[in-house]
Amino acid sequence: MIYEVPDGAAPLRQGDIFIGLPRIDLSLARVPVVRENGEHEEVKWEDIAKAHEPVSAVVAIRPVAAIVATQDCDTLRSPDITLCEIREFRDVERKCKETKTPSSWKSIITQQARVNLKWFYLPPDEKVGFSGKMAVDFMGTLRVARTDLEELRTLRSARLNPLADEHFRERIAEFFRRYPYDEWYALNPEELEAYRKEYPDVQPFPWQVLRKAPAPETA
Amino acid sequence: MRPLRRFAKTTAVVFGFLVGSATAGLDVWLNDSRRNTSTAVIGVGQGQTRRRITLLQARRIALEAMEWAERERLRFAEQEASSGPEWKDYP
């Protein structure tokens, strides 16, 4: 498919796919701290932060698939490498959880580049470790020390081929270049009314409020 | 090559050494002048909360945090799907 297998000694690059990198999830409301005497305590992170001291804690770590997001020049010397988690496509794009026909899949896969900026499609490939359709979830990042990742190149199952890599590079840049804005700001009052049927909480901007014509003066 | 599901179902709990990162600004861990010994001990009658727990409870808390995070990601994806563009609208 859209993958190639790099030489085991090849340096890290954006678009490298790893299977089995650690994802850490931690609740800042309940941190299971390990004290020096070996006892455990449940502490709020806020309290740990106030103490300005590092602590040891019990955390859950889950092995996940991930793709290198850090740019090529930084992958050579940056102390940390940023990766985006790769998840099952149906879990990232829930609109297609019931999709079955090739025609429907075709529409989703080809149109996603134009419409949805939050994920990047990765087709199945048993050699890579993807038994089903996958997606890079740009919303989910993880960080691994560069030297650790270099040591773990045995977990690098593939990298994107040049065409896919170029597309990925543009898509990830596009995702992080987005800025939040109220998309309804330019709608006219009638268009806004239609918009609010779908998003009833939306408030109009001053220029979107119809002004009533002043009543004619009476003598 | 090993299928991804195999990894997704595997969970490990380890001791992590948590060090706050402040790469863009002042590093509070390294700046001695900002260290305050009066706040170095957590939860000594200052309205702070802490609770002694067993290792098993610590492990359960860690796993619950992970499960909660996973549920939230799925919930967010569902929410996005319900409010995002319809594929049929983009022929």
Distance in angstroms (rounded) separating the CA atoms of residues A81 and A109 = 28
- Whether B71 maps to a domain, the answer reads yes
How confident is residue B25, by pLDDT bands cut at 50, 70 and 90? Answer: very low
Distance in angstroms (rounded) separating the CA atoms of residues A119 and B5 = 19
- Whether B77 maps to a domain, the answer reads yes
Interface test with B, best of A36, A62, A115 (most B CBs within 10 A): A62
What pLDDT does A165 receive? 96
The SS3 call for residue A169 is: helix
What's the alpha-carbon Rg for chain B, to the nearest Å? 21
What pLDDT does A19 receive? 97
For residue B34, give the chain A residue with the closest CA.
A52
- Whether B39 maps to a domain, the answer reads no
- Check pLDDT > 90 for residue A105: no
Out of A24-38, A149-163, B6-20, B50-64, which region has the weakest mean confidence (pLDDT)? Answer: B6-20
What's the domain count of chain B?
1
Q: A115 touching B, CB under 8 A?
A: yes
- Whether B60 maps to a domain, the answer reads yes
Out of A121-125, A158-162, A203-207, B78-82, which region has the weakest mean confidence (pLDDT)? Answer: B78-82
What pLDDT does A71 receive? 94
Q: What is the pTM of this model?
A: 0.76
For residue B17, give the chain A residue with the closest CA.
A56
Structural domain boundaries, residue B77: 54-84
CB distance A149 to A80 below 8 Å: no
What pLDDT does B13 receive? 45
Sign, Cα dihedral of A194, A195, A201, A202: negative
Report the pLDDT averaged over residues A92-114: 80
- Check pLDDT > 60 for residue B19: no
Q: Which residue has the tokens 């106030």?
A: A50
- Whether B80 maps to a domain, the answer reads yes
A&B contacts, CB < 8 Å:
189
- Whether B23 maps to a domain, the answer reads no
- Whether B63 maps to a domain, the answer reads yes
What pLDDT does B47 receive? 55
What pLDDT does A215 receive? 75
Distance in angstroms (rounded) separating the CA atoms of residues A32 and A56 = 9
CB distance B81 to A94 below 8 Å: yes
What pLDDT does A46 receive? 94
- Whether B72 maps to a domain, the answer reads yes
